[in-house]
Amino acid sequence: MRQRRVLAGLVGVLTAVSVVAAPQASAAGCVYNRVDLPLPAGVTSAHTEGSSANNSRIVGAYRDPNVTKAALWVNSTLRVLPPAVSPFYDVFPEDVNNTSVVVGSQEWRASDRTATQAFRFENNAYQFLYTALDENSRGQYVNEAGDVVGTVWKRANPTERTVVMWPREGGRRSFGLGQASGLSGRKIVKYDEANSKSLIVDADTGATVELPGGRPPAVVDGGRVLTYRWVDQVVGGEIAEWDLNGVEVAIHRGGYQPYGRNNSGTVFGVLEPMLGSTPSLWRPSGRTAVVADKLPIAHYYGDVTDAATLIGTYNGEADQLRPARWLWVCS
């Protein structure tokens, strides 16, 4: 899910601004009801990692008991993925598509080094994605075709990371230094840390578009890119919204951590820490705070569906993490 020179030629673009209104009360008779996602037997703590474009699939992770495993919820029905493939110990899922293709990485740790390798999981089997002997890799995003985008890095130089795509057909392709931030179709969003730029890269043509001021946290959802953008010491920051051609289409004042956007134009995210880090919804009519008995935590994956259902992770009893959906119910 992200070049100024391209935008310089675009004139007359109307930018919508989400007004930062005071948090409003929920619509009369409407509330958010939390529904926990089921966990494997004996597991008391788990968290969300990603969901499919239509939000019918949610992928998450949990500890059992000393290794990390992956869970997939299909329309809220639990499916446990197989354990890591030897010699790996841990499974770290990161994304899933509408047909239950899960991507992520498996990892093992030793006293002298750590090995991490990206995978694509489907048909109840892990397919490890090409990673050179001196590299580590992470699979982070998957599109409906099964193309995977992620990062690779040399074990000898872990701070220098390269954005890559493992296509469904053909060999691995590199898209330069940086961090992967999202994927929509064949459009890759990345953050070029060396030059502090967020870019949208066309995987087919290599064309890039810069998103001025955009930086992590960022997500790609529903054909839109949501990035954090710092304004100043008075205003703080905002969530900037862009289309996949790099045209800025909306500004969501006060936003810090974007989660997602639905087809009605509602953006789900978290306010700036200086504004209270409150989970909030930005609609064309303004911003409202999310009100529920337990609120999603900013550090874990979240989204908003077309039915206004929220997806996320909350802190439960004894600080145990719990994945859930929050249903918007009107009496």
Whether residue 4 is predicted with pLDDT greater than 50 in this model: the reply is no
20: nearest Cα among 331, 282, 197: 282
> What is the model's pTM?
0.90
For residues 275 and 291, the answer to whether their CB atoms sit within 8 Å is: no
> In the β-sheet with 102-109, what is the strand arrangement from edge to edge?
90-96, 102-109, 114-122, 125-128
248-253, strands of its sheet edge to edge: 16-18, 248-253, 236-243, 224-232, 215-221
Tens of pLDDT, residues 247-263 = 999 999 999 999 999 99
pLDDT score of 218 more than 50:
yes
Mean predicted confidence (pLDDT) in 188-205: 96
pLDDT at 27: 54
Q: Is the model's pLDDT at 17 over the cut of 60?
A: no
Residue 13 confidence (pLDDT) above 80: no
Chain centroid to Cα 23, Å, comes to 25
What does residue 208 show for φ and ψ, rounded to 5 degrees?
Answer: -125, 150
Is residue 60 within 8 Å of residue 46, measured between CB atoms? yes
The domains found in the chain, sorted by start residue, are: 4-330 (2.130.10.10)
CA proximity to 50, closest of 175, 138, 173: 138
- Residue 236 CB burial class (10 angstroms; 0-12, 13-18, ≥19): middle
